[in-house]
């Protein structure tokens, strides 16, 4: 490709709306162009990167035994009504009607469609196991698209779905996809870790996310400093600080005028926050029922040093939508904000308590009267709960529940992929059944596995850039080599030599971006570093006289001269070494052994 013919231009100025280094550099390098919030055009350079990512994904999915299909992006709404996700995913569904007033949705994911497809074609155990995948456009009406390609309303996903006769088979399929994901991210140059995660609206018995740790990530994960435990904060477990064992003491009122916060209460009474009880109020509605639907009123109690984890709370209630109660709603219920206590509320509101409270004696809590708190509130004696569960958010410095010794740290991250053990979440309601060896009907168990292709593109830039521009991993770079010709158009011999090298390298199989523009050396070198092609070859009058071509990897501090006759072979060797470095570590270690 000649740069003189390349559609799009690099930008000298920093885009005003760029939110992350990856977003900024993809815009400046001319890889993407924004049409609207959450909607981007891939320019020729960026599309070449995306196609390479897709090819790596295909190779690893095929190697893991999956078969590629392509399902419609337009779905009949009744499929989503049948699974119940027209309600649970209502906030992100794009809905529309066709000319005959038939209700449709634009697919944000394809569990309903793949389950229907499988049911139509699978008959017996001989059709299992089966893993089907696609690389398809998805649509989600995100409330806050951000980070360029990090969170989009229209995006590209690889989604795969496995079908097995039993849980043992699912274990095998799940492990195969897990290994394939490790290879995909390694080959794309995006370092990831696997963390335990909440399954959310996808459902199922458990899931893991592959995340890229970066300060610009929108998710938060906890990581233990001693063991391999890592989890999304929505799922993370931790060890609460133990309360000192004490015999229950008599309730005692204490005047606390104007003190409505845990911090203020701790300071006034000289007690640590973990010796207090915090009250939070919600309305819980059936998922997707809408704000006008009646909700069950919740009195939620956690220890004072903890925060309510709304995902855990929702899961404890069977996956319902939560809305905090306003001050006006509290007043209408006769609840005094800042002074509420669960004592005396049994039967009026559903009480949900964090698992730390039964073993925390003699807490300070509200007295249900303005300006008054009580000491020595005890679970079981003074109050009880309808539900006791882990509903607290893990925090920096908490003790690891896995090893019991390590300390949890909070890290920002981008979710790159997610693997789910669905079980019969979809196959059962869709009536999928196959005959086993004994002729008995069996409901297949499913797994699903998603990767954000656009997120790999942006994460590759977040992981590989410097102050001058992008440093594309060789496996996903738009071109293998950027050929820079200095003095082209003015020096006939340089022009001829550059044209010959371009033709030779291209014929040998290298993808070459040839900067044939009549621009200054500074402009050409700056653009080469911004675009970030892994290898640069420079042809100039001085190099030509010396019989060499200057070769410089993008991440190297200095160039290296190569004899002109060996230039293409040297470029191939440098490219091969860069690709080899991206192979999974275990694979290279096995070969070395």
Backbone phi, psi, residue 7, to 5°: -75, 135
Q: Measure the CA–CA gap between 16 and 40, rounded to whole angstroms.
A: 16
Residue 207 tokens read as 């899931």
Residue 281 tokens read as 């109020």
Residue 171 tokens read as 């274990």
Q: What is the pLDDT of residue 286?
A: 84
Whether the Cβ atoms of residue 122 and residue 427 lie closer than 8 Å to each other: no
Q: Measure the CA–CA gap between 484 and 70, rounded to whole angstroms.
A: 41
Q: Which residues pair with 305 in a beta bridge?
A: none
Q: Measure the CA–CA gap between 368 and 300, rounded to whole angstroms.
A: 15
Q: Is the peptide bond before 129 cis (omega within 30 degrees of 0)?
A: yes
Find tokens 């190099």 and name the residue: 543
69 burial level (CB within 10 Å; 0-12, 13-18, 19+)? middle
Residues 6+ apart with CB under 8 A from 514: 1, 2, 3, 483, 485, 498, 502
Question: What is the per-residue pLDDT across 272-306, written as a single tens digit (0 to 9) for each?
Answer: 999 999 999 999 988 766 666 678 999 999 999 99
Q: Encode burial over 214-233: b for 16+ CB neighbours within 10 A, e otherwise.
A: bebbebbbbbbeeeebbbbb
- At 26 the three-state DSSP class reads helix
Q: Measure the CA–CA gap between 150 and 548, rounded to whole angstroms.
A: 43
448: left (phi over 0), alpha (psi -120 to 50) or beta: beta
Q: Measure the CA–CA gap between 146 and 218, rounded to whole angstroms.
A: 9
Instruction: Give the DSSP letter of residue 16.
Output: T
Q: What is the pLDDT of residue 13?
A: 85
Q: Give pLDDT tens digits along the chain (593 positions).
A: 999 999 999 998 888 888 899 999 999 999 999 999 999 999 999 999 999 999 999 999 999 999 999 999 999 999 999 999 998 899 899 999 999 999 999 999 999 999 999 999 999 999 999 999 999 999 999 999 989 999 999 999 999 999 999 999 999 999 999 999 999 999 999 999 999 998 776 666 789 999 999 999 999 999 999 999 999 999 999 999 888 889 999 999 999 999 999 999 999 999 999 999 999 999 998 876 666 667 899 999 999 999 999 999 999 998 888 999 988 899 888 898 899 999 988 788 999 999 999 999 999 999 999 999 999 999 999 999 999 999 999 999 999 999 999 999 999 999 999 999 999 999 999 999 999 999 999 999 999 999 999 999 999 999 999 999 999 999 999 999 999 999 888 888 989 999 999 999 999 999 999 999 999 999 999 999 999 999 999 999 999 999 999 999 999 988 999 999 999 999 999 999 999 999 887 576 556 54
Strands 252-255 and 219-224, by their bridges, are unpaired
Whether the Cβ atoms of residue 448 and residue 160 lie closer than 8 Å to each other: yes
Nearest Cα to 551, choosing from 583, 478, 533?
Answer: 533
- Map 208-238 to HEC letters: EEEEEECCCCCEEEEEECCCCCEEECCCCCE
Whether the Cβ atoms of residue 395 and residue 273 lie closer than 8 Å to each other: no
Q: What is the pLDDT of residue 593?
A: 47
Nearest Cα to 195, choosing from 168, 176, 175, 213?
Answer: 213
Express the helix, strand and coil content of the chain in percent, nearest 5 each.
30, 30, 40
Go through the domains of the chain in sequence order and give each one's CATH number.
21-236+410-462 (3.30.930.10), 252-389 (3.90.960.10), 479-581 (3.40.50.800)
Residue 423 tokens read as 């079980």
**pTM greater than 0.85 (yes/no):** yes
Q: What is the pLDDT of residue 347?
A: 80
Question: What is the per-residue pLDDT across 259-275, written as a single tens digit (0 to 9) for each?
Answer: 999 999 999 999 999 99
Q: Measure the CA–CA gap between 232 and 218, rounded to whole angstroms.
A: 11
Residue 553 tokens read as 């990897």
Q: Encode burial over 381-404: b for 16+ CB neighbours within 10 A, e otherwise.
A: ebbebeebebbbbbeeebbbbbee
Q: How many CB atoms lie within 10 A of CB 17?
A: 10
Whether the Cβ atoms of residue 533 and residue 515 lie closer than 8 Å to each other: no
CA 523 to chain centre: 37
Q: DSSP H helical segments within 421-510, as ranges?
A: 453-463, 492-508
Residue 285 tokens read as 């509605």
CA 479 to chain centre: 27
């Amino acid at each position: 490709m000649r740069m003189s013919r390349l559609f799009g231009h690099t930008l000298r100025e920093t885009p005003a709306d760029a939110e992350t280094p990856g977003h900024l550099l993809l815009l400046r390098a001319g890889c993407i162009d924004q049409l609207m919030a959450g909607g981007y055009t891939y320019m020729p350079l960026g599309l070449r990167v995306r196609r390479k990512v897709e090819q790596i994904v295909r190779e690893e999915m095929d190697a893991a035994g999956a078969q590629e299909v392509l399902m419609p992006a337009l779905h009949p709404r009744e499929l989503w009504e049948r699974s119940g996700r027209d309600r649970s995913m209502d906030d992100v569904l794009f809905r529309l009607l066709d000319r005959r007033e038939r209700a449709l949705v634009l697919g944000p994911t394809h569990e309903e469609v793949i389950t229907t497809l499988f049911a139509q074609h699978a008959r017996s155990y001989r059709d299992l196991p089966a893993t089907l995948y696609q690389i398809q456009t998805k649509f989600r009406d995100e409330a806050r698209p951000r980070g360029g390609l990090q969170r989009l309303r229209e995006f590209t996903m690889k989604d795969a779905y496995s079908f097995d006769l039993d849980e043992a088979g699912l274990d095998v399929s799940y492990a195969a996809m897990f290994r394939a994901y490790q290879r995909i991210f390694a080959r794309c140059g995006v370092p990831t870790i696997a963390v335990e995660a909440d399954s959310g609206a996808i459902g199922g018995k458990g899931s893991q996310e592959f995340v890229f740790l970066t300060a610009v990530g929108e998710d938060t994960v906890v990581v233990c400093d001693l063991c391999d435990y890592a989890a999304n904060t929505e799922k993370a477990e931790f060890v609460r600080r133990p309360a000192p064992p004490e015999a229950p003491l008599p309730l005692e009122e204490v005047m606390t005028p104007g003190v409505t916060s845990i911090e203020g209460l701790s300071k006034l009474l000289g007690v640590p926050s973990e010796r207090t009880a915090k009250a939070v109020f919600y309305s819980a509605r059936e998922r997707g029922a809408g704000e006008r639907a009646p909700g069950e009123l919740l009195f939620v109690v956690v220890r004072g040093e903890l925060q309510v984890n709304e995902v855990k709370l929702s899961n404890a209630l069977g996956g319902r939508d939560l809305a905090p109660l306003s001050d006006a709603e509290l007043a209408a219920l006769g609840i005094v904000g800042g002074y509420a206590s669960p004592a005396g509320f049994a039967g009026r509101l559903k009480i949900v308590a964090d698992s730390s409270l039964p073993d925390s004696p003699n807490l300070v809590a509200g007295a249900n009267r303005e300006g008054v708190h009580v000491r020595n509130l005890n679970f079981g004696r003074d109050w009880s709960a309808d539900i006791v569960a882990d509903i607290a958010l893990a925090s920096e410095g908490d003790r690891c529940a896995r090893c019991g010794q390590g300390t949890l740290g909070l890290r920002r991250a981008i979710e790159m992929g997610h693997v789910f053990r669905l079980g019969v979440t979809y196959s059962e309601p869709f009536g999928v059944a196959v005959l086993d060896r004994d002729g008995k009907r069996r409901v297949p168990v499913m797994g699903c596995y998603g990767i954000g292709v656009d997120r790999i593109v942006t994460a590759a830039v977040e992981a590989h850039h410097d102050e001058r521009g992008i440093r594309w991993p060789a496996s996903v770079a738009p071109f293998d080599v950027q050929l820079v010709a200095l003095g082209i158009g003015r020096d006939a011999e340089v022009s001829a030599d550059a044209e010959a090298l371009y033709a030779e390298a291209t014929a040998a199989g290298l993808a070459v971006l040839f900067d044939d523009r009549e621009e200054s050396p500074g402009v050409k070198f700056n653009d080469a570093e911004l675009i970030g092609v892994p290898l640069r070859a420079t042809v100039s009058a001085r190099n030509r006289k010396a019989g060499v071509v200057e070769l410089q990897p993008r991440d190297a501090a200095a160039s290296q001269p190569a004899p002109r006759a060996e230039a293409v072979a040297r470029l191939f060797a440098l490219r091969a070494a860069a690709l080899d470095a991206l192979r999974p570590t275990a694979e290279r270690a096995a070969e070395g052994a």
